[in-house]
């Protein structure tokens, strides 16, 4: 996954989504601390990605549910590996965002 991120960064520069995935993978695979402040900074940047919202919602902020709904719809329309991961995350029983 890091090789893919390195290649993406080489091709597209330091885009917010690439930075997000690197931070996210560091947290879930290496046990690094949450990065809520950095994620908030990333969504405020030009060319930010809606992908970041699933993390912000998962960190306990229901204000992002409208963004999560849109992300979910977008992910259903294009079944890439990334989108399948997002869908599996959002469809997990631990999240009840669809009911809100």
Number of domains composing the chain:
1
- Compute CA 23 distance to the chain's CA centroid, rounded to the nearest angstrom: 10
pLDDT for 12 equals: 94
Using a cut of 0.75, tell me whether the model's pTM lies above it.
yes
> Distance between CA 2 and CA 57 in Å, rounded?
24
3-state secondary structure of 14: coil
> Distance between CA 95 and CA 41 in Å, rounded?
24
pLDDT over threshold 70, residue 100: no
- Compute CA 29 distance to the chain's CA centroid, rounded to the nearest angstrom: 15
Tokens of 83: 């989108």
Range of the domain at 46: 2-99
Placement of tokens 């306990």 in the chain:
60
pLDDT over threshold 80, residue 95: no
**pLDDT tens digits, residue range 7-51?**
999 999 999 999 999 999 999 999 999 999 999 999 989 888 899
Tokens of 92: 């997990």
Share above pLDDT 90 across residues of the chain, in percent, rounded to a whole number: 70
């Amino acid at each position: 996954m890091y090789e893919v991120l390195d290649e993406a960064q080489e091709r597209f520069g330091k885009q917010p989504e690439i930075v997000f995935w690197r931070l996210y993978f560091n947290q879930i695979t290496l046990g690094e601390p949450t990065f809520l402040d950095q994620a908030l900074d990333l969504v405020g940047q030009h060319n930010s990605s809606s992908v970041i919202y699933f993390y912000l919602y998962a960190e306990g902020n229901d204000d992002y549910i409208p963004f999560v709904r849109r992300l979910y719809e977008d992910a259903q329309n294009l079944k890439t590996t990334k989108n399948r991961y997002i869908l599996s995350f959002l469809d997990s029983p631990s999240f009840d965002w669809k009911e809100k």
